[in-house]
Amino acid sequence: MKSYKTIYKEDKEELIIEKSRFIAHTKSVETEEDALEFIKKIKIENKDATHNVWAYVIGENQNIQRYSDDGEPSGTAGIPTLEILKKENLTNIVVVVTRYFGGIKLGAGGLVRAYSKACKASIIKAKITTKIIYIPVKISVDYSTMGIIENRFKLKNIPISDIEYKEDIQFKAYIPLGETSSFKDYLVELTNNSIDFSFGDPIYVDMVGEDIIIN
């Protein structure tokens, strides 16, 4: 699967709209089974709620799209929730909007606005991330070279992790898919070939705003 947008962390947001409580639960998922399991969990936790409306989008091309109004008038809850996910171009995401009725009827238009607003609020709180394929590089350098490496990597926005101080310094760096050849040449030139490194298997990293986050 190529790079895609989803949410960074599981979260929820609560809104009070005309005395009704709308609690939007949001989670990133990998499969339809994961989405259905999350929906089941939220429905059990909120079994006394008036409605547990849900929607999810899964797949590289957003090819799996499902929703439920869960008793709300047709087209006023599940579809608006799904449309927010599609408008933000998100995939591998599930949202369950729980409603506890407060006694005031919202009407069709009011319901559409309420469920859309709750869904959007939960996505903002959970933070949108772009999942990008990176290649981890295991690197071993001597202590005198590490300072140069850290400074240059910082300038190039190359993230590093798992630093271990042994006979040499060992750590991992992460580079975008397709840049292994140029990165290899860069390392050799930077250290005058006094470096050991090996490329690992591709992984997804999170880009939240301008920050690259290695999980």
pLDDT, tens digit (0-9, with 9 covering 90-100), for 82-115: 999 999 999 999 999 999 999 899 999 999 999 9
Looking at 126, 157, 172, the residue that finishes a domain is: 126
The torsion angles phi and psi of 181, rounded to 5 degrees, stand at -65, -50
> pLDDT band at residue 1, thresholds of 50, 70 and 90?
low
> pLDDT band at residue 212, thresholds of 50, 70 and 90?
confident
What per-residue confidence (pLDDT) applies to 137?
A: 95
Same domain as 148, residue 68: no
pLDDT, tens digit (0-9, with 9 covering 90-100), for 62-87: 999 999 999 999 999 999 999 999 99
Burial 64-99 (b: 16+ CB within 10 A, else e): eebbbbbebeeebbbbbbbbbbeebebbbbbbbbbb
Domain that holds residue 158: 132-213
What domain count does the chain have? 2
Tokens representing 46 are 């909120």
Looking at 93, 126, 159, the residue that finishes a domain is: 126
Question: 99 near 53, Cβ under 8 Å?
Answer: yes
| DSSP-assigned beta bridge partners for residue 207 | 130, 212
Residue 60 has pLDDT above 90, yes or no: no
- d(CA 138, CA 199) in angstroms, rounded, equals 6
